[in-house]
Structure 1
Amino acid sequence: MEGLQTPRLVCMAVTPAHFSEIFSLYQRNQALLALLDHEHDPAHLATRFVRKANVPLGGSVRQLSKVVLFSPDQTKIRGLCSVYYGYPEPHIAYVGELFFAPDAQRMGLGRELYLALEAQVRVRSMQAVRVGVGLRNWNALRFWIRLGFVHITGMSGARDFTPQAYAFLELEKNCTP
């Protein structure tokens, strides 16, 4: 994903210098983060993102692409994204995170970025893209379903429903012609 550009976004590989901007991004989305997972501390999440700490078991950091999304003039952070190429199978790209600043949401930037990412996935001859979506994140569920992620490939979370319980759906979109 590094170097990927759309008309309104520039993807730059994450570096430790981006920590404060990523921390701020998570902090401004704290209400949403609290709905998604028991781990929602902005400092912890920013550290994990910068350090590329969430590689799948048995995976390689070389297959993980984490980028910070900037406006074309590269002065304003708009969001962040992580994609693991080859998980859980070699022909699948897995979007681990796609997160936008509150002032960059509902502007079509996510769709714009995803369509560019899907084109890149096709060039790599990958057959599908998967994403995990928190069940409480209705806007994200609508977003991914509208993009064609209609196959449920997995479900995880608490076995019992409580106001503090978390659950996720794993959705897939086929990218073969």
Structure 2
Amino acid sequence: MEVSNGKAEMIPAGWTTTRLVVRDVSPEEEPQARRLYLEAGPLPQWTGRAAEEGYVRRWLAGDPDVPPGGSPDRVRLQAAWLADVGGSERPAAILELFHGYPGPDDLYIGYFGVDAALRGTGIGRELVEGIAAQAQALGYRKARAAVDLKNWAGLRFWIAVGFVEAVKVGGDAVYGPDAFARIELARSL
């Protein structure tokens, strides 16, 4: 694994796939990133809570949500941009990447939202394969992602892109209409 200062290298601040340009979200891109975060993310009926309106702004101010044992200096908030005819770019997806979480050989995809108008076009799959290729080149051995159990489309997506190892389940202990749970899935790289 490539290491710097005793820690595995992070996926670059900018990289590409066949159709996408992926880069760290900049303050100038905050409005587009915020829209994607709010519109493409988990719905309250899946999680029991709405997406936080100011999360992208808070993230850009240096206050990202970090899981227990995670480090704010080891996370990236990136947006994927799709080139339109004529050369302009449109926002296609937004994602969080936690490097070295929960273990040093793991890359954790914390948030992954694709613009609803682009779902079913292969953008999500292309982005996951790009993340996997970047992570593998840096020596990460496993990629992880959590999905809400009520998000059936999300479950099908993550399984279809190779996240087939169930790592853990967390959430409410008893099933009910107002109960929520998530499953963490993993893919070997």
Q: TM-score when scaled to structure 1?
A: 0.88
**Separation in 1 of the partners of 2:25 and 2:17?**
18
Q: Structure 2, unaligned stretches of length 5 or more? A: 1-10
Q: What is the total number of aligned residue pairs between the two structures?
A: 174
Q: Identity, % of aligned pairs? A: 28
| Matching residue's letter, 2:173 | R
Q: What is the aligned counterpart of 1:19 among 10, 30, 51?
A: 30
* 2:163–2:187 contact (8 Å) kept in structure 1: yes
Is the strand fraction higher in 1 or 2?
2
**Which residue does the alignment assign to 2:43?**
33
Is the helix fraction higher in 1 or 2?
1
Alpha-carbon distance change, 158 to 25 in structure 1, aligned in 2, over 3 angstroms: same
| Matching residue's letter, 2:74 | Q
Determine if the alignment matches structure 1 residue 142 to structure 2 residue 153: no
Alpha-carbon distance change, 48 to 134 in structure 1, aligned in 2, over 3 angstroms: farther
State the Cα deviation string for residues 80-119 of structure 1 (Å, max 9, x = none).
0111110000001000011011111111011111111111
* 2:15–2:22 contact (8 Å) kept in structure 1: yes
**Separation in 2 of the partners of 1:41 and 1:114?**
22
| Matching residue's letter, 2:30 | F
**Separation in 2 of the partners of 1:58 and 1:28?**
29
**Separation in 1 of the partners of 2:53 and 2:111?**
16
C-alpha RMSD of the superposition:
1.9
**Separation in 1 of the partners of 2:158 and 2:115?**
18
Q: Structure 1, unaligned stretches of length 5 or more? A: none
Shift of 1:74: 5.1
Shift of 1:24: 2.0
Q: What SS does structure 1 have at the residue aligned with 2:92?
A: strand
Q: What is the aligned counterpart of 2:104 among 80, 90, 101?
A: 90
Residue correspondence of structure 1 range 9-158 to structure 2 within 5 A: 9-29=20-40, 32-51=42-61, 53-72=64-83, 73=87, 75-158=89-172
* 1:23–1:42 contact (8 Å) kept in structure 2: no
